[in-house]
Amino acid sequence: MSICIEYYTIAEVSKLTGLSKKTIHNCYGKKCFRNTIQLNGKKLIPVTEVVSLVNNQKAINRFKNLGKYPAVKKEEALLKLKKITTFQDTKERLPRRHRAKRALELCGVPRSTLYRWRKKYYQNGLAGLIDTRGGSRKG
């Protein structure tokens, strides 16, 4: 059984958190993040470390309303956001004809789901991507 870990580049972490690339780069250099890797000259940070960064209330005021959610829900929301940004970046780079269809294929998410996530993100920020349905039942 293998575990697949998602990684973000410094630019993606900067975009997600609202912190400057320089700040993220300095944190990377000071070994603030665990389990980082460097691939093809790109410094990569695991999604779990990005969630830890989001949990740090002093560093990021933008995510104050996420404190009540468990880390797993935050990770899922960040993965959704990564798929949204991948879709938009890919869509912009492809030729006009069939670009949305090809970008959706690369993301691996149905169009209606991706557009719904994007709408929720624009309306409520990262908190809009957190799945609040269900939960455990007591009794």
Q: Report helix, strand or coil for 45.
A: strand
> Among 13-17, 129-133, 135-139, which is the least confidently predicted range?
135-139
Domain ranges across the chain: 1-65, 69-139
pTM confidence score: 0.55
Would you say 99 and 108 are in contact if contact means Cβ atoms under 8 Å apart?
Answer: no
The CATH number for 1-65, chosen from 1.20.1110.10, 1.10.1660.10, 3.40.50.970, 3.90.1150.10, is 1.10.1660.10
Q: How confident is the model at residue 106 (pLDDT cuts 50, 70, 90)?
A: confident
Relative to beta strand 37-39, strand 42-46 is: antiparallel
For residue 4, what pLDDT is reported?
61
